Amino acid sequence: MRITVADDSMLTREGIVHLLSVAGHEVVGQADDADRLLSLVQALRPDAVVIDIRMPPTYTDEGLVAAQRIHAAFPEIGVLVLSQYVEPSYAIRLIEDHPEGVGYLLKERVFDVAILIDALRRVADRETVVDPTIVARLFGRRRVADPLDTLSERGAEVLGLVAEGRSNQAIAARLHITERTVESHVTKTFLQLGLTDDPGSHRRVLAVLAYLRHQGTAPR
Amino acid sequence: MVTAPAALAVTAEVCYAAVLRGDPAESPERNPFVWIFFARSAALTALAVGVTWYVVQRRRRRSAFLTLVNELEMSPGIGSLQALLSRSLGDNSLTVAYWLSRAGRYVDALGHAVNPEVDQDRAMTTIVRSGTQVAVVSHERAILDDQTLRQRIGPAALLAIDNERLGVELTAHLQELRLSRMRIVTAADEARRQIERDLHDGAQQRLLSVLYELRLASSESQEDAHLSGALDALIEGTQKSLVELRELAQGIFPAILDEAGLGAALGTLADQAGCAIEIRSLPHVRLSAPVERTAYLVVSETVGAAHARSGGLTVNMDLCDETLTVCVDGADKAPSEYLADRVGAAGGVLSVNSGAIRAEIPCG
């Protein structure tokens, strides 16, 4: 893969670049702010981009905004946003317009080269990636009369992997079950929770995240 | 009003005397006598009108002033003195500025700082009581001079002015306290926010780079099972420290609140809370940072004090008439003094009614 990396922290940027090079991927372009990243992406058209969420000038959500702009202009480029915050609302904001080919990972996870390469491959293949810590936090939220309690153990497990953006095929491989079984779990769980989105579409990730985030807390 | 007709009357009389000397017969057919007759009549009529107007005006002022004294004796409310004075002295532009000696500035009756400027058409009268300056009355120079004003204002008005100044001083003092309380809270918030940033950009980054080095070392030492095991334990320990540091930073200041607003911040609070939180309504617009931070604290403090129970908490935040009303139902402890202080510092009021905590925070 040809990858562009943007992070204002030189340590993180060079760490990622080193890991990617060792794993045999080509790093085309490094940027320390969003503007430089956008011009690099325009010129180099990489397969995927790694972006830190906090960058100059305001150090808030520049990375998120840049990710959305890249995604809108070059939908074929996979975008992986890195953050030190376990913030479901950022992840939801990132994937809510176009869930295909975007990902939100915690920074500490990408230093595990296997996780980094897997995430980049998935976003480059138009999949969605959501950090498992974020999914775990949403699952762990206390709810009055929690509908998640009505799910079977396997059903909840499958739902969690769906929220992480895993495909049915990947879920089947992970849980050592057939794709058909995964499909039936997903369909059943969606029915049980009253989710109306197509359980086979890319939007299912967003549907599950939004459900977990707002169930029992949505402003009416 | 009186001098002009009087001068005309005198001139007419002098002319009459002069003409009479030349023609003692005073023949009514002769022109000068006709003209002098008309001039004398006009001058005397004007004189009569002028004298009457002067007397009426004096009476009117005196009675207006008596009313003023009466009204002052009934101790008018704060802020009404300027209106009373301008009415009784017939000067709509009259202003009263009170001198706050401790703060070293002038304020109006509501405690707002004013700067009584000297200009050509206006006169300033300084009101002094017991040798101390208490106020400055600014008025049209044409209507009254300083001396007249001082005489007119009299002892009753002076007392009232002094009283009003004391009231104003108190109001200004309260206003200052309110502002300084707000400044202290804002400064504390900013300091916490800065600590959160420093942790994020400093310690957290450093731990991340340690984690990176450890992972590199671990991947290069796969053959040495002992070393690899030790490195994996270090990686796990470092990751735990990172998680703890992140939670500490978030507890110090929720960055998401400033960046994405109350909805996102309360969502994250609900993700981590020990009890269920149901958010029923939220304002549809972003509010100022002090208001959002105070509203967030009302919920987070209540959540922190709540037990994990099945009932959970419900949160309603409604914006109406420039006031954000925050209601947290299901609280099982009275709010802390700190929370009441925080809401008070934002100019709001905190109340409790059988498990319902309610804060009204002005947003204007």
Q: Looking at residues A52-64, what average pLDDT do you find?
A: 88
- Give the separation between CA B152 and CA B69, rounded to whole angstroms: 10
In this predicted structure, what is the pLDDT of residue B297?
A: 95
Decide: residue B137, CB within 10 A, 0-12 exposed, 13-18 middle, 19+ buried. Answer: buried
- Give the separation between CA B170 and CA B262, rounded to whole angstroms: 36
ipTM of the prediction: 0.89
Judged by CB atoms closer than 8 Å, whether chains meet at B267 and A60 is answered as no
Query: Token match 């040798």: residue?
Result: B131
- Give the separation between CA A185 and CA A208, rounded to whole angstroms: 14
Q: Looking at residues B217-235, what average pLDDT do you find?
A: 91
pLDDT tens-digit profile of A89-136? 999 999 988 889 999 999 989 888 999 999 999 999 999 999 999 999
Chain A residue with the nearest C-alpha to that of B202: A9
Q: Does B140 score more than 90 pLDDT? A: no
In this predicted structure, what is the pLDDT of residue B266?
A: 95
In this predicted structure, what is the pLDDT of residue B92?
A: 82
**Partners of residue B268 in chain A, C-beta under 8 Å:** 87-89
Higher-confidence residue of B286 and B310: namely B286
Chain A residue with the nearest C-alpha to that of B242: A108
In this predicted structure, what is the pLDDT of residue B242?
A: 94
Judged by CB atoms closer than 8 Å, whether chains meet at B208 and A59 is answered as no
- Average pLDDT score, chain A: 90
Taking the Cβ of residue B246 and every Cβ of chain A, the question of whether any pair is shorter than 8 Å is answered with: yes
In this predicted structure, what is the pLDDT of residue B147?
A: 66
pLDDT tens-digit profile of A133-165? 999 999 988 888 788 888 899 999 999 999 999
Please give the interface size between A and B, counted as residue pairs whose CB atoms are below 8 Å apart. Answer: 99
Judged by CB atoms closer than 8 Å, whether chains meet at B276 and A12 is answered as no
pLDDT tens-digit profile of B173-184? 888 899 999 999
In this predicted structure, what is the pLDDT of residue A218?
A: 43
Chain B residue with the nearest C-alpha to that of A9: B205
CB-nearest partner of A143 from B260, B266, B276 = B276
Judged by CB atoms closer than 8 Å, whether chains meet at B205 and A111 is answered as no
Confidence of residue A6 (pLDDT cuts 50, 70, 90): very high
pLDDT tens-digit profile of B319-338? 999 999 999 998 878 889 99
Confidence of residue B83 (pLDDT cuts 50, 70, 90): confident
Task: Pick the range with the lowest mean pLDDT from A50-64, B302-316, B325-339.
Answer: B302-316
Taking the Cβ of residue B237 and every Cβ of chain A, the question of whether any pair is shorter than 8 Å is answered with: no
pTM: 0.76
Judged by CB atoms closer than 8 Å, whether chains meet at A85 and B246 is answered as yes
Chain A residue with the nearest C-alpha to that of B249: A85
Judged by CB atoms closer than 8 Å, whether chains meet at A54 and B215 is answered as no
Q: β-strands A2-6, A26-31: how paired?
A: parallel
3-state secondary structure A38-80: HHHHHHHCCCEEEEECCCCCCCCCHHHHHHHHHHHHCCCCEEE
Judged by CB atoms closer than 8 Å, whether chains meet at B268 and A89 is answered as yes
Q: β-strands B105-107, B113-114: how paired?
A: antiparallel
Taking the Cβ of residue B133 and every Cβ of chain A, the question of whether any pair is shorter than 8 Å is answered with: no
In this predicted structure, what is the pLDDT of residue A135?
A: 94
**Partners of residue B272 in chain A, C-beta under 8 Å:** 137, 141
**Partners of residue B275 in chain A, C-beta under 8 Å:** 142
Chain B residue with the nearest C-alpha to that of A22: B216
Q: How close is the nearest chain B Cα to the Cα of A89, in Å?
A: 6
- Report chain A residues touching chain B, CB-CB < 8 A: 9, 11-12, 15, 18, 54, 59-61, 84-90, 93, 107-108, 111-113, 137-138, 140-144, 213-214, 216-220
Confidence of residue B35 (pLDDT cuts 50, 70, 90): confident
Give phi and psi for A50, each to the nearest 5.
-110, 125
Judged by CB atoms closer than 8 Å, whether chains meet at A144 and B280 is answered as no
pLDDT tens-digit profile of A158-184? 999 999 999 999 999 999 999 999 999
Judged by CB atoms closer than 8 Å, whether chains meet at A84 and B197 is answered as no
Instruction: Find the Cα–Cα–Cα–Cα dihedral A106, A108, A110, A113, rounded to 10°.
Output: -150
Taking the Cβ of residue B210 and every Cβ of chain A, the question of whether any pair is shorter than 8 Å is answered with: no
Taking the Cβ of residue B93 and every Cβ of chain A, the question of whether any pair is shorter than 8 Å is answered with: no
pLDDT tens-digit profile of B96-132? 888 888 878 888 887 788 888 777 778 888 877 778 8
Q: Does B55 score more than 90 pLDDT? A: no
CB atoms within 10 A of CB B7: 12
pLDDT tens-digit profile of A182-201? 999 999 999 998 888 787 78
Q: How close is the nearest chain B Cα to the Cα of A110, in Å?
A: 9
Q: What percent of chain B has pLDDT over 90?
A: 40
Higher-confidence residue of B263 and B153: namely B263
**Partners of residue B209 in chain A, C-beta under 8 Å:** 11-12, 15
Based on its alpha-carbon atoms, the radius of gyration of chain B, rounded to whole angstroms, reads 39
Higher-confidence residue of B312 and B241: namely B241
Judged by CB atoms closer than 8 Å, whether chains meet at A219 and B204 is answered as no
- Give the separation between CA A188 and CA B135, rounded to whole angstroms: 81
Q: How close is the nearest chain A Cα to the Cα of B211, in Å?
A: 7
Judged by CB atoms closer than 8 Å, whether chains meet at B271 and A88 is answered as yes
- Average pLDDT score, chain B: 85
Confidence of residue B65 (pLDDT cuts 50, 70, 90): low
In this predicted structure, what is the pLDDT of residue B84?
A: 79
In this predicted structure, what is the pLDDT of residue A219?
A: 42
